[in-house]
Amino acid sequence: MGKLPTKMVKLSMQEDSSRSPTYTVACEDYVHVVEFSPFSSGVPASLLAYGGNQYVVVGTCLFQEEDMEIEGVEFNVLRAFHHELRVDALAWSPESRLDRIPTIRFCTAAADRKLRLLTSDLQDRHEVKVMEGHTSYINHLVFEPTEGKQIASVSDDHTCRSKPFYFHPHSCSTVEALAESAHGQRKETQSFDRALSCCREDEAGKVECLLRSSSETGHILPYTAPLRTSISPTTRLTFRWSLELTCILLPSLYSAENEWQRAAHSETFVVMVWDLEGNESTTLRLRSPGISVCWHPEEAFKLMVAEKKGTIRFYDLVTQQAILSLDCGQSPLMSADWCLTNTIKVGAVAGNDWLIWDITRSSYPQEKRPAHIDKARLFKWSRASENLFATTGCPGKICSQLLIHHLGHPQPVTIGSATVGSGLSWHRTLPLCVVGSDRKLCFWMTEM
């Protein structure tokens, strides 16, 4: 990365605020993610971070709407952090403040499936803690907003994924199963052929089995992690599952009529909750890739998780159970957000449409309107008004569209575009949002 600006930058407002950005700030490289801190910095200016290929820049923004002595916007770079890979997602900690003893803390996600917790005093102290656990692309992450001692992240995890195998003609296939509950009550179950995901005979004449749970019986938990073992075709097997159920398997010889059948592999999707030491404190099983995750602003045990297939669920982290679910009625769901100024409102984009729910009324959207011809990509509520939100279109060959909507208006109140735009974030107190672009940040101010 080239040399970054370290001095305060003053930029003037553009004349056409309906289409051109109200303000812009020059950057040294393409901006892939950008995030205003949703928490008070302890000083008049707001914290903002943006990242791209192997870097994250942290700075402060102060706008003329906040200080009449400023012309346009003043952006002051506090520090540039080296990042091993391109930054794909970023979240601010509520512990980041600039009053008293300055502390910067945020977390990033990258393509190596790792989270990185970065902490700095903007002088000598600089720490990076790497958190591993996800096995696929991390889509979104968020800090617990009251104390910042936990991080939730969602991804495309395939934690029960196995590579395809083939059935061998001399392997075992038909499996009779008995399920024994934790209370010792034994019940016979149906033939358990589908539970044997794949098996094959190795060179030593033993059969390697990959077992997965079946959703066709109430005794076995779906999406249980695979179990591997080596057996002979006459061995009596015992597998213990996470529900404290025991399956006693009596394999018989494989029927030669079904030679070389491909076994399907199973997949599991999870949302993980971490402490700041990198330990997983909670893992919630999902039914499709996790796209967005939001924490309740006051109740630290409530978490919202949006899944790609079009379902949004609210979880109680104490019981680790879903307490409410919403349905888009379409997929793929690309982004969702919880309105933190009025937590009965939830918004999302799926396909070309934006959707709004009132969670006290129905699990189906109260409002749904087409937004972007080129498919919608991101949805973010304003932090200044419960009636204001923004959506972006999927990045095109040249420009990405930004639309700012007001629930009291049938049409977008602001339309903008950014060259290969990426990321979307709202200012903590102003009706102003930012999108990353090619070597610049683009800010749009709108009316309440």
- The encoded tokens of residue 406 equal 């007001």
Q: Which of the four pLDDT bands, split at 50, 70 and 90, describes residue 394?
A: confident
Calpha distance 258→429 (Å, rounded): 65
Mean pLDDT score of the chain:
76
The reported pLDDT for the residue numbered 211 is 36
Q: Which of the four pLDDT bands, split at 50, 70 and 90, describes residue 396?
A: low
Query: What are the start and end residues of each CATH 2.130.10.10 domain in the chain?
Result: 9-160+267-445
> Could you give the C-alpha distances from 305 to 19, 288, 310, 317, in angstroms and in order?
33, 11, 11, 12
Comparing 192-201, 342-351, 408-417, which segment has the lowest mean pLDDT?
Answer: 192-201
Query: Which CATH number is 9-160+267-445 given?
Result: 2.130.10.10
Radius of gyration of the chain (CA): 26
The reported pLDDT for the residue numbered 189 is 33
The reported pLDDT for the residue numbered 420 is 82
Q: Could you tell me the pTM of the whole model?
A: 0.73
187 against 96, higher pLDDT: 96
Any idea which residue has 């982290």 for tokens?
A: 317
Calpha distance 17→64 (Å, rounded): 15
Q: Which of the four pLDDT bands, split at 50, 70 and 90, describes residue 254?
A: very low
The reported pLDDT for the residue numbered 210 is 36
181 against 359, higher pLDDT: 359
The reported pLDDT for the residue numbered 395 is 76
pLDDT at 16 over 70: no
